[in-house]
Structure 1
Amino acid sequence: MENFENLLLEHLKRFQEAQVRVERKLEEITRRLSNLEAGQGSLIQHIGHLTSSIAQGQVQADHFDQRLEHIERRLEISG
């Protein structure tokens, strides 16, 4: 009976060690996933800023086109 108890305790210790390894790995994966999510959020923010800059550039280009058309009309130049 004592051998059985020792064997059972040994198996329980191994199971507990394996569980600790799994928990550590899960913590690492969770930490890495959080880092990826933070990086993704940063990329999305940068894309938003770039999109805004592109839109502002397009508005300026449209404004310059309108001004050029106005100047051409006043000078009676056909474009």
Structure 2
Amino acid sequence: MTDNVDNLILEQLRGLRNQVSGLQGEMRSEFADVKYRINRLETAVAGMRRDEAGQAEDIARQQAFLDRLMDRIQRIERRLELSDE
């Protein structure tokens, strides 16, 4: 009788081991997918930051151009005596 109980316990333990092995394989696959998706998100965020920096650079360049234009207009107004200064 104890042999039957021992065999049943061993059979159950083998079944559990197989189930755990199967779950481990699924978890590895899912974990690899999660890592891939996080990597893609990080890449997208880096791209957005790069785009934002490019936009800030464009705005600064436009502002510098406008500042130079304003200086030129003020100089022209002074020469033509159109300004109140």
Shorter-chain TM-score range: over 0.9
Percent sequence identity is: 22
Shift of 1:42: 0.8
Kindly report structure 1 stretches of 4+ aligned residues shifted beyond 4 Å.
Answer: none
Count residues in correspondence. Answer: 79
Counterpart residue number, 1:59: 64
Q: 1 CA distance for matches of 2:83 and 2:55?
A: 35
Shift of 1:39: 0.7
Structure 1 residue runs of 5 or longer lacking an equivalent are none
Aligned counterpart for 1:3 among listed residues 2, 8, 29 = 8
Q: Which structure ranks higher in relative contact order (CA pairs < 8 Å, sequence separation ≥ 6)?
A: 1
Residue by residue over 1:47-69, the C-alpha shift from the partner in whole angstroms, topping out at 9 and shown as x without a partner, is: 11110000000000000000000
SS of 1:77's equivalent?
coil
TM-score by length of 1: 0.95
Aligned-residue CA RMSD in angstroms? Answer: 1.0
Task: Answer with 1 or 2: which has the greater Rg.
Answer: 2
Structure 2 residue runs of 5 or longer lacking an equivalent are 1-5
